[in-house]
A and B are shown apart, each in its own frame.
Chain A
Amino acid sequence: MLEISPIFNAMMRHKSHALLLIIQIALTLAIVANAAFIIENRLTLMNRDSGLPEAQLFKFDVFSFGKDIDLNQQMELDETMLRAIPGVIDAVTINQIPISGSGDNTIFMDRDDTPNKNNNDKNLHSKSNTPAKHVHTGVYRGDTHTLNTLGVKLIAGRNFSEDEIIYGNETQPISVAIVSKAFITTMFPELKGLEQQGVGKLIYVFRIPIKIIGIVDKLQSSQVTSSHIEQTIILPKIQTRNFYRFLIRTAANQQQAVIDKVENLMLKLYPNRVIRTPRTLTYLRDNSYADDKMMTQLLMILIVILFLITALGIVGMAVFNVNRRRKQIGTRRALGASKGNIIRYFMIENWLITNLGIVLGIALSILLSQFLMQQFSLPKLDNSYIMATMIAIWLLGIMAVYFPAKKAAQISPAIATRSI
């Protein structure tokens, strides 16, 4: 039924035209499939849940240059004042802000693996000969208000009690911690699915044992590019520094009102300091993901341009073929071909070319993906992207060729009689 063989023969009379279009379609498929894959990867990254009520949170930095105060005391006064502002749900001084791009990381271990140089008795470290597990962890330090300010849920265990908080230069070691669920699954893979049982386990840092007393469902750390972003820990410690920051949770609709007041209230409490511009978590998120956002936007533009150019190429080729074959079309019409036959002829011709282009394009997509994988830290292209792009190019081809084909069908059969 399909007149593939005559169409193919006619196409072969102008091989270079067909070949150019095939190359163009193949390249388009290869680029679009890979670009779409990169876009999707980035969108997945950007849409990860930080575990926080981001719209309710903002932070600001305080830099005290005055030397006439006790910083410990001042931090407490600041906190009390901030928590009393109408609209504020809770506030805390904290060492790092989630998804802000800069913060503290430390390696925690599942046992104290420091070899005891002075003792030859191996039984002291008899537990196991395998090296201790090292887990890169984002470290938050704050007081009992940390959980409530972050707005994260405990799935097991309890919050810090007031007497567990270590202030300023108090030297006793930290003995308890709250960790994220992802921390438990990384540190103790055997507890996967039973993370609640992580409560009571010991972890080590600087040879100090720390007991896990609580587990939160989800809490990301500050560096969004890090592969360890989900592994976090909260330590009950307030460090005394002249440069510290506050995280504040308000009702979402009150946020701006509170932000507007904060600097004046802080300076009224103690003037010899600088309050840095408050930043909302939404702002920090946008900032942290700015590169990914730009990449997705630029790649989307690239895809649109490619589809546009390829559609133009198909239209151009079809128009050229129609014009070149005006007489033949007229003759076919005069010999009884219907308008539908003519349209079908061009559609099938284009469909053949598109298919050849797609076959070549699949090979090119895989090659390009392999090249990108070798050169850059990109994951392997998922086949579904090639499929989706194939379908898009099919549809694009059909749409692009339809109008020139319809125009061809309008050619009058009389044209056949005129010039012969």
Chain B
Amino acid sequence: MATKGVTLNTNARKIRFARRFISILLKMRKTRSPCSSSSIEDVRKRSQRIKIAAYSSMAHAVGPRRAWSRAVLFKLRSRARHQSMMKRRSFGLQKKRVVVVKNNNDIIPSGQLSQADRLRQLVPGGKAMDMCSLLEETADYISCLATQVKVMQTIADHFSK
């Protein structure tokens, strides 16, 4: 069933990805255009934001029918909620961020995991999956990611001309 979806609407999917991604990029540019400084920090921030935009556009285009896209959407939503809360009380921001980073560091280098677990960490929402569905989601995720990379490549090529 995944095969059918992938082979059939590669183009349609590509276009959907591109449309969303471009609209998000434009939105970002509108908000960011006044302070178009090119310091390294700024570029990094912006790239982070673009990365998130890429993932979110992918997940939105796929919709909630896939586990990985659901996981991404959920993460984005919770992140947005988190950020809005942070904006309200900006004092707690830095401390909490440090905590989050620490947690991530703890999880990632714990090293010699089995391959399935490594894959689970890579595929969003994969932690709660059994092997079967994990592989299925991985297949879909890979195809989507490849499409997204192609889209971004085209956009980047277009811009850098």
User: Do A and B form a real pair?
Assistant: no
